[in-house]
Amino acid sequence: MGVRSEITITVSKTFLFCTGLSQAEFARSIGVKKATLVNWEQGRRRPDGPARVLLALIAKDPGIVQRVLGEG
Domain map (residue ranges) of the chain: 3-68
- CB neighbours of 54 closer than 8 A, spacing ≥ 6? 30, 65
Reading the chain (72 residues) residue by residue, the pLDDT tens digits are: 555 556 665 677 667 677 788 889 888 888 999 999 889 888 889 888 898 888 888 888 888 888 888 765
- Can you give the pTM of this predicted structure? 0.73
- pLDDT of amino acid 41: 83
- pLDDT of amino acid 32: 92
Neighbours of 1 (CB within 10 A): 7
3-68: what CATH class?
A: mainly alpha
